[in-house]
Structure 1
Amino acid sequence: MRISTLTIYNQNTQAMNRQQADFMKVGQQIASGKRVVNISDDPQAMAQALNVGQSKAVTQQYTDARIGVRNALGQEESVLNSVSDIYSRAKTLMVQASNGTLSDGDRDAVASEMRGLYESLVGLGNSRDGNGLYLFGGYEDGSAPFIRNPDETVQFVGSTDVRQQRIDGDRTMPIGHSADDVFRSVRGGTNYLAAAAATNQGSLTYSSVNVIDSTDPNYGDTFTVDFGGTAAAPTYSINGGAAVAYTDPTDLQVGGLQIELTGAPEPGDQVTISPAAAGNTDVFRTFEKAIAALEAPLDTPQAGAALRNTLNTVMNEFDNSMDNVLTVRAEVGARLNELDTLETIASNRMLAYEQTLSSLVDLDYVEAASEYSMRMVGLQAAQKAFVDMKDLSLFNMLR
C-alpha cells in the first residue's frame, strides 16, 4: 500500500498535538492543584462538587449572620450590665432615704442623684449599635424608643416586636430585645405589690406583701382594701366585703398573702394589693415616683406616711425590674451559648464539605507527577519519530 508523504506528515502532526495536549493538561492540573479543571474532565464529580460548593456558600452566609447577631447580643449585654448597676444603686439610695432622721435637704440630695441615674437610664434605653440603629428599637430601630414629654417624663414610642435573623437552616433567633421587654416588663413569677391611693389622707403605712400560701384559691387576684368608719373607729373591707374593725397594727391575710398595716387611716383611704404585672411595670415611672416623693417636704404626718409607702412600693418595683433585667441577661447568655454551639456544628460541617470536595476534584500529586513524566516521554517520542520519518523519501535513494 502506498502512503503519501502528506499522510505521513499529517499522522505525525496529529500524534504530536495529541501528546502535547495530554502533556499540557497534566501540567494544568499540577499548576491548579485540581484533578478536575474543566467539566469535561469528570462531569459527575464536577456536578457533585458544584452542589457541595453551594452548600458551603449557604453555610458561610449563616456564619456571617451569626457574627452580626453575636455583635448585637454582645452590645446588649454590655448595656444591660450598666442597667443592673443603675438599679442596684437606686435601691441603695431608696434604703438610705427610708431613714427617718434625714432632713428635707438630705432627701433633696438623694433625689438629685436619683435624677442623674434616671437620665443615665434614658440614655441606655436609647443606646445605638455599631450601625447607628437603636439597640432596643425592635422593628423601629431607626427612631428612639423613648422620648421626652413636655412635663419631662419619659414615654415609650418604640416597637414591641423584635427583629429575627436566620442563623442556621431551620433556626431563627431574635436580635436582642425590645425596650418594652427590658424597661417596661416584669416576669410572670414576680410576686405581689401594695400601693396606696394618691388621695389617701391618713397616716396609714404598709409592709411588703408576703406570700404564705400560693395554693389559696384566690391567689393571683387583686385585692382592694377600703377604709371606712370614723377617724376614731376606723374599719376596712376587702373588695367590697363586710366591714371589719381596724386596729393599729393589723396583720392582714387574704388570698394566701400577708401584709401588715400600721398607722391611722382616714375614711376613704385605700390600699391595693395586686400582682406586680398588674401594677406599674415601667421603671421610668418608678424613678419619677421616687424623685417626686423625695422632693416633697415632710410637713405633716400624712406626708411622712405617703413617703414611706412610696419608698416601700418603689423598692419592690426596683427589685422586680432587677429580676426582669437579670432574666433578660440570662436569655442573652443562652443565645450566645447557642451561637457557640451552632458555630462548632458549622465548623464541623465545613470541614466535611472540604473533605468531600477534596475527594472529588483535588489532585493526587504523586500520581500526577508520574503521569507528567510519562506524557513528557510520550511527547518526546512522538517528536523523535517525526524527525526520523520526515527524511524518509525515495529521492534519498537516487544517486
Structure 2
Amino acid sequence: MKVSTQLFNKQQVERFSKLNEDIQSLQNRISSGKNIIQASDDPIGAVELSGLQQVKERFNQYSRNADNAINRLTIADNALQAITNLIIRAKELTIQAANDTFGAQDREALALELTEMKEEMLSTANSADSSGAFIFGGYHTGTQPFEKNSKGVIEYKGDRGTNSVAVSETRNVGTTLDGGSVFMSVKSDESVAPMFNVLEDIINSIRTAAGSVVEAKATGKATLKIENGNPGNFSFTLADNVSTANISVDLPSTDLSGVVSAINSSGLNINATLSGNTITLEDSKNGPITIKDLQVEGIDKSEKEPKSFLTFDAIDGAGNSLGVPQVLYDKNQTIQNRLNDITKVLEHIANQKAIIGARTNSLDRQRELIAQRTIAVEKDMSDISDADLAALVTELQGQITGLQASQQAFVKISNLSLFQFLR
C-alpha cells in the first residue's frame, strides 16, 4: 500500500490532536478533582452518579422538613409553656381570692388581672411561625384560629387537622397540634370545656365570692329562702350538732313543701316549717345548724350572675335577724371548686407538651439517621466521581511523554525524503 506524504502528515496531525485532547481531559480531571466531567467520560458511572444525586437531594429535603417541623413544634411548645405560666399565676390569684380577709375591692382587682390574662391566652393561642402560618389552626394555617363572637365568647375557627411533613420514605410527622384539642377540650370529671371558660369561671367565682359563703351557719334557729332560677333538682348538705344529711328535692316550681318534708324526714334534730316562700329551721336542742355543698341541676360552671341560690339567715327566738343574710351558691360557683379546674388544665397542657416533646425527640433521632444516610450516599458518589490524582498524574506524564516522542519521530520521518538523501 502506498502512503503519500500528504496523507502521512494528515494522519500525524490528527494523532497529535487526539493526544492533546486526551492530555487536556486529564488536566481538567486533575484540576477539578473529579473523575467524570461530562457523561461521555464514564456513561455508566454518570448514570449511577445521577441516581445517587437524586437520593441525596431527597435526603436533604427530609432534613429540611425535620428542621421546619422542629421549629414549628418549638413555637407550639413555647406557647404552651406561656399558657402554663398563666394558669399557675391564675392558681395563685384564686388561692388569694379564697382568703376571707379579701373584700370586694380586693377581689375585683384580682378579677381584672385574670381578665387581662384571658386576653393574653387568646393572643398566645393565635401564635404563628415566621411565615405567618398559624400553629394551632389545623389545616387552616392562613386563618386566625381563635376569635371572639359578638357576645365576647371565644370560638375556634380552625379544624381538627394536623399538618405533617415527610421525614423518610415511609414516615410523616405532625408539625402542629390542632387548637380544638389543645384549647377547647379540657376534660374534667364530668365534662369537656374550653380552656378559656376555666379562666372565665374563675373570674365569675371571684366576683361573686364577696357576696356569698361556702358554708352557712346559725345557732338554734334560722330562715331559709330558695331562689329557683334553674328549675330542677336541688341538693345540699344539712347538719346539726350530731348528724349530717343530704337533702335532695326536685323543685320544678316555687313550691318548697318538698324541701320541708325532706328536712323533717332526714332524722336530724332540725324541724322545718313553711310560711309563704320562707322555710324556718329550728334545732330542738338549740345546737348549730349548718348548710353547705349546694348543687343545682343544670349548673356545671360558674355564672356571671347566679340565678339559683340559698339565702340563710340566723334569727333569734322572736324571728329577728342576728346578722347579715348568708348566700350559698352552687358548688360550681365557689372559688374552691376552681382549684380543681386549674389542676385539670395544667394536666391537660402537660399532656399536650408531652406530645410535642415526643415528636421533637423523634425528629432529632430522625435527623441523625438522615445525616448518616447522607454521608453514606456521599461516599458512594465520591467513589464514582472523585479522581485518583496520583493515577491521573502518572497517566498525564505518560501521555505527555508519548506526545513528545511522537512529535520527535514525526520530525525525523518527515526529513527522510529523496531530496534529503541526494543532498
- Fold shared by both chains (TM-score > 0.5): yes
Partners of 1:111 and 1:291 within 8 A in 2: no
Cα distance change, pair 107–371 in 1 and its aligned pair in 2 (3 A)? same
Name the structure with the higher strand share. 2
Cα distance change, pair 7–300 in 1 and its aligned pair in 2 (3 A)? farther
Does the residue aligned with 2:116 lie in a helix, a strand or coil? Answer: helix
TM-score of the two chains, using structure 2 as the length reference: 0.71
Correspondence for 2:296 among 232, 247, 270 = 270
* More moved, 306-315 vs 94-103: 306-315
Question: Where do 1:344-383 residues align within 5 Å?
Answer: 344-383=368-407
Does the residue aligned with 2:165 lie in a helix, a strand or coil? Answer: strand
Structure 2 counterpart of 1:40, one-letter code: S
- State the alpha-carbon separation in 2 of the partners of residues 80 and 202 from structure 1: 39
- Taking only aligned residues, the RMSD between alpha carbons, in angstroms, comes to 3.3
* Structure 2, unaligned runs of 5 or more: 193-200, 202-227, 239-246, 251-256, 270-289, 312-323
Cα distance change, pair 368–265 in 1 and its aligned pair in 2 (3 A)? closer
- Number of residue equivalences: 338
- State the alpha-carbon separation in 2 of the partners of residues 367 and 97 from structure 1: 85
Cα distance change, pair 78–88 in 1 and its aligned pair in 2 (3 A)? same
Question: Where do 1:197-236 residues align within 5 Å?
Answer: 199=230, 204=236, 226-228=248-250, 230-234=258-262
1:148 aligns with 2:148: yes
Question: Where do 1:290-329 residues align within 5 Å?
Answer: 301-302=326-327, 304-306=328-330, 309-329=333-353
Where does residue 179 of structure 1 map in the other structure?
179
Q: Which segments of structure 1 move beyond 6 Å, counting only runs of 4 or more?
A: 200-203, 290-293
The structure with the larger Rg is 2
Partners of 1:290 and 1:310 within 8 A in 2: no
- State the alpha-carbon separation in 2 of the partners of residues 393 and 22 from structure 1: 31
- State the alpha-carbon separation in 2 of the partners of residues 149 and 263 from structure 1: 39
**Identity across the alignment (%):** 26
Partners of 1:23 and 1:379 within 8 A in 2: no
Where does residue 124 of structure 2 map in the other structure?
124
Cα distance change, pair 113–291 in 1 and its aligned pair in 2 (3 A)? farther
Does the residue aligned with 1:140 lie in a helix, a strand or coil? Answer: coil
Deviation, 1:202, is 7.5
- State the alpha-carbon separation in 2 of the partners of residues 59 and 24 from structure 1: 36
Cα distance change, pair 10–164 in 1 and its aligned pair in 2 (3 A)? same
- State the alpha-carbon separation in 1 of the partners of residues 120 and 408 from structure 2: 89
Cα distance change, pair 101–35 in 1 and its aligned pair in 2 (3 A)? same
Where does residue 361 of structure 2 map in the other structure?
337
Where does residue 52 of structure 2 map in the other structure?
52
Deviation, 1:18, is 2.2
Greater relative contact order, per chain length (Cα 8 Å cut-off, separation 6+): 1
TM-score of the two chains, using structure 1 as the length reference: 0.75
Deviation, 1:191, is 4.2
- State the alpha-carbon separation in 1 of the partners of residues 66 and 136 from structure 2: 19
* Structure 1, unaligned runs of 5 or more: 207-224, 236-243, 249-261, 274-278, 281-288
Cα distance change, pair 263–354 in 1 and its aligned pair in 2 (3 A)? same
